[in-house]
Amino acid sequence: MRLAAARGSWLDLMGCVVLIKLTIRSVVWFVTGVVLAVVATAVVTDAWRADAAAGGSDSTFVPMAPCRLFDFRAAPATVGPKGTPLGAGEANRYVQQVTGANGNCVIPVDAVAVSLNVTAVNPSASSFLSVFPDGETTPNASNLNWGAGQAPIPNKVDVKLSPAGRIMLYTESGTVGVIADAVGYYTSSTLQELASEVAALKAAQPFSVSNNDGAFADLTTTPKSYLDVTLMVPVAGQVIVNYSAFATSDSAGGDVVCAPYRSTEIPAGIPLLTAGVGWWETSTPTFGDDGSVSGTAPFVAAGGETVTYSLVCEETGSGQGRVAGRTMTAIFTPAP
């Protein structure tokens, strides 16, 4: 028998309805109270911030399930690209990307600020940590303070983001491990716009779908599917299908051929390929032996479609072929 392989919300918006019986008088007093509260807030705000302007930088806080944005501790605790302590001084300031998919977090690209729980661990000297927007001068202010060797020190930090969605970290003396968990962010978008953006961001992440069947199945001389895997393609991209199967035939001259195809494009006959050519691995066992066939095939996928890929097999000789141990994994990667 000869074997051959061929190619073929995060954000949940929750609403509640509250029924309130209002009289004309109660409405008037309620509206009056709101207006007075807004005016009072504006007066107090302007008292300590000379450049405050109503509506100039409005933003909405959006709470989220806590996620670890970064962890500078050594592996296996490391989260994100940096697994070493933050060094001291201007030359060691560290830029951290916040928006997008970073660490264990997914934060919309239009976020203007982020709410963090920041913890300093294993400080080598008495110092402090400043967290501020990337691209700005290091401020004369601190978010955390500690002594040398002090136990972990946490603090809530709300920080504005740079236009590129980044923050910067600075410590003055020694080294210190820094951990940050995001608990929310600020955005100037409406909640409806925000939900749409988060859904699109999640959709643009790679994912995989697998299927398998270990039972033996008899082959015929007509190609047909012996295993399927289905996935919904959220955006345009590429699907890589990895497949494998064990096969046998009771004829020394029999050919067992398998390959992945779209379920709507199964051919009338699968072409035989030369061993070692292309993406495929092949084997040629002697009569009565089992063999295996496996490989990888790429497919272009359009956004918004649900597509099924089939492992198509056939017996091309005069004997009776069989397949078992069939596996398929379809890996989706969004287009750049």
DSSP states of 97-131 = E-SEEETTEEE-TTEEEEEEEEEEES-SSSEEEEE
Q: How confident is the model at residue 277 (pLDDT cuts 50, 70, 90)?
A: very low
Helix (H/G/I), strand (E/B), else coil: 201: helix
Q: Give which of 71, 287, 289, 88 is closest to 174, Cα–Cα.
A: 88
Q: Are strands 255-262 and 2-5 parallel, antiparallel or unpaired?
A: parallel
Per-residue confidence (pLDDT) for residue 291, from 0 to 100: 74
Residue 189: domain span: 60-203
| Model pLDDT, residue 235 | 85
Final residue belonging to a domain, choices 140, 175, 203: 203
Position 28 in a domain: no
Query: Taking the CA of residue 151 as centre, how many other CA atoms within 13 Å lie in the half-sphere pointing to its CB?
Result: 0
User: What residues contact 328, with CB distance under 8 A and at least 6 apart?
Assistant: 210, 211, 212, 227, 228, 229, 241, 242, 243, 260, 309, 311
Average pLDDT value for residue range 228-256: 84
Q: How far apart are CA 24 and CA 39, in angstroms?
A: 23
Identify whether 227 is part of a domain: yes
* pLDDT of res. 252: 57
Mean pLDDT, residues 70-80: 95
Asked, for residue 293, whether it belongs to a domain, the answer is yes
According to the model, what pLDDT value does residue 6 have?
Answer: 53
Contacting residues for 221 by C-beta, under 8 A, at least 6 apart: 314, 315, 316
Least Cα distance to 273 among 262, 259, 292, 252 occurs for 259
Neighbours of 260 (CB within 10 A): 26
Cβ–Cβ < 8 Å for 182, 296 = no
Residue 254 has pLDDT above 50, yes or no: yes
Question: Within a domain: residue 40?
Answer: no
Question: Among 4-8, 124-128, 200-204, 328-332, whose mean pLDDT is lowest?
Answer: 4-8
The pLDDT assigned to 114 comes to: 97
Q: Do 331 and 309 form a contact (C-beta atoms < 8 A)?
A: no
pLDDT for the residue numbered 109 = 92
Is pLDDT above 60 for 302? Answer: yes
Compute the average pLDDT of residues 261-288.
57
Q: What is the pLDDT of residue 205?
A: 83
| Pair (270, 299) in one structural domain | yes
Task: Provide the pLDDT for residue 192.
Answer: 63
Token pair 């596996």 is found at 327
User: pLDDT band at residue 27, thresholds of 50, 70 and 90?
Assistant: very low
* Token pair of 238 as six digits: 């590429």
Across the range 12-32, mean pLDDT stands at: 36
| pLDDT tens-digit map of 130-166 | 999 999 999 999 999 999 999 999 999 999 999 999 9
Contact 320, 250 (CB under 8 A): yes
Does residue 284 or residue 199 have the better pLDDT? 199
Q: CB neighbours (10 Å) of residue 169?
A: 24
Q: Name the strands in the sheet holding 111-121, side by side, starting at the edge strand that comes first in the sequence.
A: 60-71, 177-187, 111-121, 153-160
- The CATH number given to whatever domain includes residue 149 is 2.60.120
The total number of structural domains in the chain stands at 2
Give the end of a domain, one of 188, 203, 218. 203
pLDDT at 246: 86
Model confidence at 288: pLDDT above 70 = no
Burial class from Cβ neighbours inside 10 Å (0-12, 13-18, 19+) for residue 177 reads buried
Contact 310, 228 (CB under 8 A): yes
What is the token pair recorded at 125? 């000297």
Q: How crowded is residue 312: how many other Cβ atoms within 10 Å of its Cβ?
A: 24
Beta bridge partners of 107: 100
Kindly report, residue by residue over 258-271, the tens digit of the pLDDT: 889 999 998 887 77
Which of 178, 203, 228 terminates a domain? The answer is 203
| Contacts of 214 by beta carbon, 8 Å cutoff, 6+ apart | 324, 325, 326
Q: What is the pLDDT, as a whole number, of residue 268?
A: 83
Within 8 A by CB and 6+ apart from 225, the residues are 263, 266, 310, 311, 312
CA distance 292 to 315: 14
Asked if residue 233 and residue 277 are part of one domain, the reply reads: yes
- At 255, list the tokens: 């050919």
Q: What percent of the chain has pLDDT above 90? A: 51
Statement to judge: residues 92 and 210 lie in one domain: no
Half-sphere exposure for 285 (CA within 13 Å, toward CB): 16
Residues 184 and 69 in one domain: yes
pLDDT, residue 130, reads 98
pLDDT reported for residue 50:
36
Confidence at residue 145, expressed as pLDDT on a 0 to 100 scale = 97
Higher-scoring residue by pLDDT: 232, 36: 232
User: Are both 66 and 189 inside the same structural domain?
Assistant: yes
Whether residues 255 and 197 share a domain: the answer is: no
Mean pLDDT over residues 230-250, rounded?
A: 88
Shared domain for 197 and 134, answered yes or no, is yes
